[in-house]
């Protein structure tokens, strides 16, 4: 019984913090949010809904102006997953007669009848089961279903066909209407804990002039008050009514907020925390990619790099500091560091999910002997080869994948240098911005020392394969002068191509490098 009470309470906290992340934007006079609702509206997708200003509405995954986002929140106390069959079961949403899919169909028909483009979103801390057909059809770029792939004409006996048949028969509709409904479904599958949401809430409060949650308290004033408002039948808010309600509750900051302006660079979306919602300006490179795979490999150099440079060099600084949120590929995190290198005169603060959102900077903590350094391993690959492959293994071990790529690509390199933190490979192996910066400096110095020890290899190209926090990769990019000539590689995480590496950027381009001695 006690566990059930705790789970229900945590579920309420999850929903409340999600509400405040969106509702706080009503206090921003320049946001595109018109209204936000809580436990009201269309049944089944009434946990939270957002109405956007039609003149400033964000585009959906097919470029249509999105008018409504309607959310069904489902919190789980324990790790787990769901399947496409669960979405047809009323029990999955603790109902008795109506499934999540049926409620989605009702909402879809309502919005369609009113000429409103909407997105119907399941927000949950569970993922899709690894073996379920649904998992392969949720696009990480938009968090929508890939309807073209799902409705590809495959036979009813195929896995896709069985899913379509089950859903269509459950809903009592034909495939044409099912395809339209699937195009409106969204899946925000988050790994953020309640503590992670608290950090996001703190950011939202600071940015929009609300009192920030006390850092030493077990709960926040935002975890329960919205349910009290619902009890008083206050469930929908405009800019004016929300500000009045917050003022009445004493939630508006008494002193003017000294805003910290964050600028974003993104090539993909975070499930709950879209950079556009809280950054002053975002360089949106998402359209250049099909999921995690770049549409045109030449775009790394020809399109993306010039846009990154132009965007970063015009950003204002605050006392010589600039804050960035980089939700992007390894290559772009490195490229941002190259632009804002050690000679740029800017001290860069970085948002880093580790897994809770933190602000990292090169001066955020003093370093000590407790901070890990590098452990290097060298392996000869081809005595007649030229160049070094460098497997930078911080968050995951890359050696095996790098060896596989080198064997398949035909790239003839002299040696393999593997770099691992002395504390071990893990998501927690880098402790701070200062630690990340120190590790980047140490790696760059190792590369320089290797070249100095072997004069005939000073023009030898390093091939970097990196698995690390973006903050580390950014700081490594700042050391480009000591690292180049070098080439960067991206890993095919989504298994869109071959679950291996492909080259991305080179500094300088390979064709401009003199022959290696």
Give the model confidence (pLDDT) of 25-79 as tens digits: 999 888 899 999 999 988 889 999 999 999 988 888 788 899 999 999 999 888 8
What is each CA distance from 476 to 161, 285, 432, in whole angstroms?
Answer: 47, 22, 14
| Residue pair 133/167 in contact by the 8 Å Cβ criterion | no
> What is the separation, in whole angstroms, between the first and last Cα of the chain?
73
> How crowded is residue 468: how many other Cβ atoms within 10 Å of its Cβ?
26
CA 486 from chain centre, in angstroms, equals 27
Question: Around Cβ 152, how many Cβ atoms within 10 Å?
Answer: 11
| CA angle, 469 then 475 then 480, to 5° | 125
Between the CA of residue 445 and those of 60, 63, 103, 438, 448, what are the distances in Å? 46, 46, 59, 11, 5
Q: Closest Cα partner for 69 from 107, 101, 95? A: 107
Neighbours of 34 (CB within 10 A): 17
- Entry pTM: 0.75
Judged on CB neighbours under 10 Å (0-12, 13-18, 19+), 40 is middle
CA torsion angle for 272, 275, 280, 281 (degrees, to 10)? Answer: -160
In contact, 66 and 57? CB cutoff 8 Å: yes
Classified as helix, coil or strand, 207 is: helix
Give CA–CA dist 492/135, Å, rounded.
17
CB 490 within 8 A of CB 480: no
Q: Quick one: pLDDT at residue 483?
A: 94
Phi, psi of 103 (to 5 degrees): -65, -35
- What backbone torsions phi and psi does residue 486 show, to the nearest 5 degrees? -150, 160
Minimal CA–CA distance to 391: which of 358, 368, 421, 370? Answer: 421
Lookup: tokens for 332 = 């772009």
Closest CA to 187 of 282, 37, 87, 94: 87
- For 236, phi and psi rounded to 5 degrees? -130, 140
Cα(294)–Cα(286) distance, integer angstroms? 9
Q: Look at residue 355 in the predicted model and tell me its pLDDT.
A: 60
pLDDT tens-place values along the chain, 517 residues long: 456 667 788 999 999 999 999 999 999 888 899 999 999 988 889 999 999 999 988 888 788 899 999 999 999 888 899 999 999 999 999 889 999 999 999 999 999 999 999 999 999 999 999 899 999 899 877 789 999 999 999 999 999 999 999 999 999 999 999 999 999 999 998 877 888 888 888 888 888 889 999 877 778 999 989 999 998 899 999 999 999 999 999 999 876 555 568 899 999 877 677 787 778 889 999 888 887 889 899 999 999 999 999 999 988 877 778 999 999 999 999 999 999 988 887 889 999 876 667 889 999 999 998 899 999 999 999 988 999 999 999 999 999 999 999 999 989 999 999 999 999 999 889 999 999 999 999 999 999 999 888 766 667 899 999 999 999 999 999 999 999 999 999 998 755 555 689 999 999 976 444 444 3
Q: Give the Cα separation of 371 and 390 in Å (integer).
A: 22
Q: Please give the structure tokens belonging to residue 15.
A: 């929903």
Using only the alpha carbons of the chain, give its radius of gyration. Answer: 25
* pLDDT value of position 259: 58
């Amino acid at each position: 019984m006690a566990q059930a009470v705790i789970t229900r309470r945590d579920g309420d906290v999850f929903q409340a913090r999600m509400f405040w992340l969106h509702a706080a934007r009503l206090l921003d006079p320049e946001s595109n949010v018109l209204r936000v609702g809580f436990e009201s509206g269309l049944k089944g997708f009434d946990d939270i809904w957002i109405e956007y200003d039609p003149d400033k509405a964000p585009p959906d995954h097919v470029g249509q102006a999105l008018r409504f986002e309607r959310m069904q929140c489902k919190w789980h106390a324990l790790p787990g997953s769901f399947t496409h069959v669960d979405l047809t079961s009323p029990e999955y949403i603790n109902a008795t007669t109506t499934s999540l899919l049926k409620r989605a169909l009702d909402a879809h028909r309502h919005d369609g009848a009113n000429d409103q483009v909407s997105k119907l979103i399941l927000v949950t801390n569970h993922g899709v089961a690894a073996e379920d057909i649904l998992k392969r059809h949720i696009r990480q770029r938009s968090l929508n279903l890939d309807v073209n792939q799902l409705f590809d004409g495959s036979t009813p006996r195929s896995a896709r066909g069985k899913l379509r048949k089950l859903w269509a028969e459950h809903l009592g509709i034909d495939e044409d209407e099912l395809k339209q409904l699937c195009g409106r479904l969204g899946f925000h599958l988050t790994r953020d804990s309640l503590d992670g949401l608290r950090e996001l809430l703190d950011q939202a409060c600071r940015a929009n002039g609300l009192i920030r949650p006390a850092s030493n308290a077990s709960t926040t004033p935002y975890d329960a008050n919205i349910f009290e408002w619902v009890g008083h039948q206050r469930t929908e808010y405009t800019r004016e009514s929300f500000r009045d309600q917050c003022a009445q509750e004493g939630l508006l900051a008494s002193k003017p907020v000294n805003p910290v302006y964050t600028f974003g660079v993104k090539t993909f979306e975070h499930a709950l925390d879209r950079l556009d919602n809280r950054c002053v300006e975002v360089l949106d490179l998402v359209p250049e990619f099909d999921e995690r795979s770049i549409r045109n490999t030449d775009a790394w150099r020809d399109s993306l790099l010039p846009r990154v440079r132009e965007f970063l060099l015009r950003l204002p600084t605050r006392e010589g500091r600039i804050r960035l949120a980089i939700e992007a590929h390894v290559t772009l995190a490195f490229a941002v560091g190259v632009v804002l290198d050690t000679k740029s005169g800017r001290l860069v603060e970085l948002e880093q999910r580790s897994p809770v959102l933190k602000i990292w900077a090169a001066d955020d903590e003093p370093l000590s002997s407790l901070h890990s350094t590098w452990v290097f391993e060298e392996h000869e690959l081809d005595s007649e080869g030229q160049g070094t492959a460098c497997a930078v293994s911080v968050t995951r071990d890359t050696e095996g994948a790098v060896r596989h790529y080198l064997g398949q690509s035909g790239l003839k390199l002299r040696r393999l240098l593997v770099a691992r933190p002395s504390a071990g490979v893990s998501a927690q192996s880098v402790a701070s911005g200062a630690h990340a910066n120190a590790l980047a400096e140490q790696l760059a110095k190792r590369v320089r020392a290797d070249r100095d020890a072997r004069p005939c290899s000073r023009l030898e190209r390093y091939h970097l394969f990196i698995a690390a926090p973006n903050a580390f990769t950014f700081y490594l990019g700042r050391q480009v002068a000591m690292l180049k000539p070098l080439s960067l590689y991206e890993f095919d995480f989504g298994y869109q191509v071959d679950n291996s590496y492909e080259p991305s950027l080179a500094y300088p381009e390979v064709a401009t490098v003199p022959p290696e001695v």
